């Protein structure tokens, strides 16, 4: 067992995907005494990151032991061999304990689903609201799949039972060692797509119907450009994105029907295109739109979503969405 190292280096770019920001409802595995763990906006160290709030009460006999992980949110596949550094912040919330209370915080390193190492640091919990940043370095081979889990331990100190709040946030993976890591070589371009040729979606007439589906994902370039249901999530202000959305549907009865496809940011229409429904009743209509969008502040903050508004109820299928980063903001 090696030690976690407390560091003060500035945050830099991140090899981890956007899932590591904890904004996309990660799958949390939690095993504790009587406490709970939740994703929250409380105790924000970096405005781009949510926090994981761990609340735990000591068991008088067994003490305090909490283990948790975030599914694939912190998962990464190494693209080159060499030293890598993983770091994270801990921010203290309410600490109901004696002034000298402390806990052991452990980082568990998994490579190719095997526990390789456990790094531990004894953390004093004297002052409320103090942030710690911890890190450790390790070697990865190209193609290694790495993931992380966490554990908080403290032997019983008897009654009255201490209870603590800790916030874990700002997870970061870099090249290099813990004292001199490097800014990752950020991929400039890449694409991510989602397709669903099995399920259908019923659309209400004269309503902006949100398009949200899971489907089958594909990508190239290692960029996260949309969430699990197709909401577009830009990487940084100044980027440019090319967005393609397509679907099909059988024509309803009627001769003057139409629909509009819109892309909205925080309820505001950024782009839209309207189509007449021209095929005979029952025949298949094919709709496709392409938009080029600069990423400005609202787009980065809120993301973007597609809506379809037909003047008559229809059922669409064969939904396809692709987002391509065509320019990296500078």
**Residue ranges per structural domain of the chain:** 2-175, 190-327
Other C-beta atoms closer than 10 Å to the C-beta of 191 total 18
Query: Over the Cα atoms of the chain, what is R_g?
Result: 24
Instruction: Quickly tell me which residue has 């600069």 as its tokens.
Output: 294
pLDDT given for residue 296 in this prediction: 95
pLDDT given for residue 178 in this prediction: 73
Nearest to 260 by CA among 181, 207, 318: 207
Query: Which residues of the chain fall short of a pLDDT of 50?
Result: none
pLDDT given for residue 159 in this prediction: 77
Widest CA span in the chain: 79
Superfamily grouping for domain 2-175? Galactose-binding domain-like (2.60.120.260)
Instruction: Quickly tell me which residue has 């397709």 as its tokens.
Output: 195
Q: Say yes or no: do domains 2-175 and 190-327 share a fold.
A: yes
pLDDT given for residue 148 in this prediction: 97
pLDDT given for residue 212 in this prediction: 94
β-strand 51-57 against 163-175: which pairing, if any? antiparallel
> Considering the entire predicted model, what is its pTM?
0.57
Q: Strand, coil or helix: what is 18?
A: helix
Residue 10's contacts (CB-CB under 8 Å, 6 or more residues apart) are none
Residue 180's contacts (CB-CB under 8 Å, 6 or more residues apart) are none
pLDDT given for residue 125 in this prediction: 82
pLDDT digits (tens, 9 = 90+) for 216-263: 999 988 788 999 999 999 988 999 999 999 999 999 998 899 999 999
pLDDT given for residue 109 in this prediction: 96
Other C-beta atoms closer than 10 Å to the C-beta of 256 total 8
User: What are residue 309's DSSP bridge partners?
Assistant: 260
CA within 13 Å, CB half, 121: 18
- 292's tokens: 């080029």
143 in Cβ contact with 112 (< 8 Å): no
Determine the CATH number of domain 190-327. 2.60.120.40
Length of the chain as a residue count: 330
Residue 172's contacts (CB-CB under 8 Å, 6 or more residues apart) are 11, 12, 14, 16, 20, 86, 87, 88
What DSSP line would sit under 187-245, residue for residue?
Answer: ---EEEEEEESS--EEE-TTS-EE-----EEEEESS---B-TTS-B--SSTT-EEEEEE
- 104's tokens: 């052991």
């Amino acid at each position: 067992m090696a030690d976690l190292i407390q560091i003060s280096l500035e945050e830099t770019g991140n090899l981890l995907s956007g899932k590591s920001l904890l904004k996309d409802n990660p799958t949390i595995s939690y095993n504790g005494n009587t406490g709970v763990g939740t994703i929250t906006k409380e105790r924000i160290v970096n405005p781009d990151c949510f926090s994981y709030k761990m609340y735990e009460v000591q068991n008088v006999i067994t003490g305090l032991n909490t283990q948790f992980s975030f599914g694939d949110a912190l998962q990464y596949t190494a693209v080159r061999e060499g030293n890598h550094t993983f770091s994270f912040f801990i921010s203290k919330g309410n600490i109901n304990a004696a002034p000298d209370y402390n806990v052991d915080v452990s980082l568990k390193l998994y490579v190719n689903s095997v526990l390789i190492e456990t790094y531990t640091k004894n953390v004093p919990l004297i002052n409320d609201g103090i942030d710690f940043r911890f890190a450790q370095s390790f070697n990865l081979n190209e193609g290694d799949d790495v993931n992380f889990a966490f554990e908080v331990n403290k032997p019983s100190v008897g009654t009255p039972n201490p209870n603590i709040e800790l916030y874990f946030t700002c997870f970061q993976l870099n090249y290099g060692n813990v004292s001199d890591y490097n800014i990752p070589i950020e991929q400039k371009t890449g694409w991510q797509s989602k397709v669903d040729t099995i399920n259908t979606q019923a659309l209400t007439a004269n309503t902006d119907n949100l398009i949200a589906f899971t489907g089958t994902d594909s990508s190239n370039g290692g960029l996260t450009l949309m969430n699990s249901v197709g909401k577009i999530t830009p990487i940084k202000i100044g980027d440019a994105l090319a967005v393609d959305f397509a679907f099909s549907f059988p024509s309803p009865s009627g001769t003057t029907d139409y629909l509009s496809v819109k892309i909205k940011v925080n309820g505001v229409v950024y782009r839209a295109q309207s189509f007449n429904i021209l095929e005979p009743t029952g025949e298949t209509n094919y709709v496709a739109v392409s938009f080029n969008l600069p990423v400005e502040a609202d787009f980065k903050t809120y993301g973007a979503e597609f809506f379809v508004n037909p003047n008559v109820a229809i059922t669409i299928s064969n939904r396809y969405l692709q987002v391509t980063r065509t320019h990296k903001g500078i």
